[in-house]
């Protein structure tokens, strides 16, 4: 979303919510409107959202048991798009208009949906879902590093530099660097880290090309998911074969991943940003790896070594530091 001064990356989640919620208004927080409060208390919705996004990595893992990674990603964006289109239909809101807008949405879909969703699915063929969830938490670290180049008006402070170094130390701890990274699949981990890098790259692009574009965040994200569906349908047709069967649990996992994790969750996140502001809403990011790790261990029986939760805590601490900004002085 093309603003004169692109804001720093926030809301580092595995979805386009950061790009649309903060980008549509050129990075400004929506004003809180008491009339738009949800039926449930925001804390309850915050907890539900954390669980949905935390379980997304488990759902990806289950989905890849029966479907190719590209097909898992395709199902994810397809059912996510259908969920948001249903919301638009109820609200009677139109999709974005203009070839230029759709051209930018095509690139945004590639960076924020098609590429990262596919990479995470490929990563989980060889790494635990818990590790994928922790890799996802490195997005703000990548965003801070990219801000050195792409966001010159928001130069990192010493504290944010310290956060970047701390986060890198956390990644090394999770991967067990002192053991020569033994027991960790390098290719799968690289895919997951590359997926997390896609998000801040996409956020920067969206803020610089689509800021101020007419349309609600739901309409823009719905259009973005539609384009991603077309992209992944083409890729899946070229590089995968049609599934011979649709086993119950993998199929339900993909449907839930799309309809809940990429559809309903985004809608819920928009409501949280409107009600409590982006700073509080983005804190959901720090619960995702905790829930992803817990789900992987309890549901899938994944092994958990001491360095995984310790490293994850260090990564989250570093990520939190990279999101802090020096307090601006009030005018006299």
Q: What is the pLDDT of residues 158-213, one digit of tens each?
A: 787 788 788 888 888 888 776 766 668 889 999 999 999 999 999 889 988 988 88
Report in angstroms the alpha-carbon separations of 214 from 5, 24, 316.
19, 8, 35
How high is the pLDDT of residue 325? Answer: 58
Higher pLDDT, 45 or 61: 61
What is the chain's mean pLDDT, rounded?
82
Report pLDDT digits (tens) over 65-109: 999 999 999 999 999 999 999 999 999 999 999 999 999 999 999
Signed CA dihedral, 109, 122, 81, 48: sign only: negative
Confidence of residue 253 (pLDDT cuts 50, 70, 90): very high
Report pTM. 0.82
Report pLDDT digits (tens) over 36-52: 555 678 889 889 999 99
Report pLDDT digits (tens) over 298-332: 999 998 888 888 888 888 888 787 776 554 444 44
User: Cα–Cα distance between 118 and 115 in angstroms, integer?
Assistant: 5
Largest CA distance in the chain: 70
Percentages of the chain per state (helix, strand, coil), in multiples of 5: 70, 0, 30
Higher pLDDT, 140 or 258: 258
Cα angle 217-103-6, degrees, rounded to a multiple of 5: 55
User: Cα–Cα distance between 15 and 82 in angstroms, integer?
Assistant: 15
CB atoms within 10 A of CB 325: 11
User: Cα–Cα distance between 35 and 260 in angstroms, integer?
Assistant: 25
């Amino acid at each position: 979303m093309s603003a004169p001064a692109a804001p720093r990356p926030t809301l580092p989640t595995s979805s386009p919510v950061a790009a649309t919620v903060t980008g549509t208004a050129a990075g400004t927080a929506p004003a809180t409107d008491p009339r738009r409060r949800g039926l449930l208390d925001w804390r309850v919705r915050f907890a539900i959202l954390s669980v949905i996004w935390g379980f997304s990595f488990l759902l990806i893992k289950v989905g890849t048991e029966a479907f190719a990674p590209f097909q898992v990603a395709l199902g994810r964006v397809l059912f996510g798009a259908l969920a948001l289109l249903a919301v638009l239909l109820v609200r009677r809101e139109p999709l974005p208009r203009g070839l230029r807008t759709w051209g930018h949405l095509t690139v945004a879909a590639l960076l924020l949906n098609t590429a990262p969703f596919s990479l995470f699915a490929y990563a989980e063929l060889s790494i635990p879902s818990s590790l994928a969830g922790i890799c996802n938490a490195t997005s703000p670290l990548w965003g801070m590093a990219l801000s050195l180049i792409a966001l010159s008006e928001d130069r990192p402070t010493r504290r944010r530099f310290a956060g970047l170094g701390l986060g890198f130390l956390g990644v090394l701890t999770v991967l067990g660097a002192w053991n020569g990274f033994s027991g960790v699949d390098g290719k799968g981990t690289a895919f997951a880290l590359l997926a997390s890098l896609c998000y801040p790259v996409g956020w920067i692009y969206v803020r610089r090309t689509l800021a101020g574009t007419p349309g609600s965040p739901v309409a823009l994200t719905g259009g973005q998911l539609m384009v991603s569906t077309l992209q992944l349908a083409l890729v899946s047709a070229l590089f995968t074969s049609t599934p011979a069967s649709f086993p119950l649990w993998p199929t339900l996992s993909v449907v839930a991943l799309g309809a809940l994790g990429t559809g309903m969750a985004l809608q819920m996140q928009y409501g949280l940003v409107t009600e409590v502001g982006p700073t509080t809403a983005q804190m959901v990011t720090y619960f995702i790896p905790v829930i992803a790790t817990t789900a992987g261990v309890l549901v899938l029986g994944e092994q958990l070594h001491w360095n995984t939760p310790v490293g994850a805590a260090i990564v989250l601490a570093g990520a939190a530091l990279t999101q802090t900004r020096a307090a601006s002085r009030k005018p006299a």
